Amino acid sequence: MEKMIWNYCAKCSHSTKHTILLSKVKKDEDEYMDYGKTLYLMLECNGCEEISFRKEYHDYLETIEDEEGNEKPAVTINIFPNQLNNHKTLEPLYYLPEKIKNVYEQTILALKGGSLLLAGVGFRAAIEAICIEENIKGYSLEQKINNLAKNRLITEKEAERLHTIRFLGNDSVHEIEIPSEEKLYMVLNIVEHLLKNLYILDKDAKNLLDTIIKQYEDFESLVIDCIISKYKLGDVKTLKEILGKHIRRISIDIESLEFTLKEKIRNKEFIHLNINERIDKASPTLDQAYIITNIIPPLPF
């Protein structure tokens, strides 16, 4: 047997040369006839070194013609773990809310395993999970999808695409109509595009770009980042000085944000600053002086 074989690699997302690490042949025969053979292979991708398993059944009772017109046994190939050709799973999955992540992963498993009916139902459930996560109300999934658009979480064009998934999912649930792989691959692209836009791009952007601050938690994280990156223990600075040019990113009332920050400092819930009490009462918003008390990043959860 050859020591190398071309095989689809899920990590590389295309067919690559693999080294055969182990192989086993099991014949399918009895005393009267040789029906075929099953070939079991343990493989290692020569590109990324990913390990996979390949099962080939060579059927001697069914033949096909090769490119040169010669007849040869029909071969059925299965690769484990099951994969979706030319598809990379959405990453990083830990950015997705837990319920949405679970529905997405189980739907992918159904599609990989050839459970097309369940995959159709799963993609519909993924839309339901998004509506639950975003607290979108409605008596039906149709209303919820429309309300996603009204709340400007998705565009009208994206809403139209989600309705097609709703139709497909309803047919799977109520009519037990099995969707084709071609349809499900298209639906997969739509759902992954939506999940990436809603959850992954925003997280990546927050790490790399100056995104708009719309809630207190993001404001507090920004204050901590500015303290850690620019100051040392004992420095006395105003909030305006701490934030610097990042103050332009805050799109909500900064007075209410600073009020909440002060309350958390007094309750010892924010440990990176102390209030300079000598001028606390006399200082207007953004002119209040703070003492830098901690420059250690908070532990990730």
Q: Please, what's the b/e burial string for 42-65 (b: 16 or more CB within 10 A of its CB; e: otherwise)?
A: ebbbeeeeeebebebbbeeeeeee
**Dmax of the chain from CA atoms?**
102
Residues 106 and 139 in one domain: yes
Where residue 90 falls among pLDDT bands split at 50, 70, 90?
confident
Domain ranges, residue 231:
216-292
The Cα–Cα gap between 209 and 203 comes to 10
199 and 139, same domain (yes or no)? yes
Given a contact cutoff of 8 angstroms between Cβ atoms, the answer to whether 128 and 169 are in contact is no
For the segment 102-123, what is each residue's pLDDT rounded down to a tens digit? 999 999 999 998 999 999 999 9
Q: How far apart are CA 258 and CA 283, in angstroms?
A: 12
Distance CA 29, CA 13 (A): 36
Handedness of CA 258, 262, 264, 268 (dihedral sign): positive
Position 69 pLDDT exceeds 80: no
Residue 300 domain flag: no
**299, part of any domain:** no
Judgement on whether residues 53 and 121 belong to the same structural domain of the protein? no
Mean pLDDT of 71-77: 88
Structure tokens at 249: 């990113």
pLDDT in tens, 129-167: 999 999 999 999 999 999 999 999 999 999 999 999 999
User: Of 189, 208, 227, which marks where a domain is finished?
Assistant: 208
Q: How far apart are CA 229 and CA 5, in angstroms?
A: 52
Indicate whether 88 belongs to any domain.
Answer: no
Query: Does residue 206 or residue 268 have the better pLDDT?
Result: 268
pLDDT for 283 beyond 80: no
Structure confidence at residue 273 (pLDDT): 92
* Angle between the N-to-C axes of helices 98-112 and 181-195, in degrees from 0 to 180, rounded to the nearest 10: 160
Query: Residue 159 falls within a domain, yes or no?
Result: yes
Domain boundary pick from 54, 80, 106: 80
- 192-209 mean pLDDT: 82
Q: What is the pLDDT of residue 191?
A: 96
**pLDDT at residue 280 tops 50:** no
Q: Which of 174, 208, 242 corresponds to the end of one domain?
A: 208
Greatest mean pLDDT among 67-71, 124-128, 275-279, 289-293: 124-128
Tens-digit pLDDT profile for residues 31-50: 788 889 999 999 999 999 99
pTM for the full model?
0.67
Which range of 66-75, 82-91, 267-276 scores highest in mean pLDDT? It is 267-276
What is d(CA 165, CA 186) in angstroms, rounded to the nearest whole number?
Answer: 10
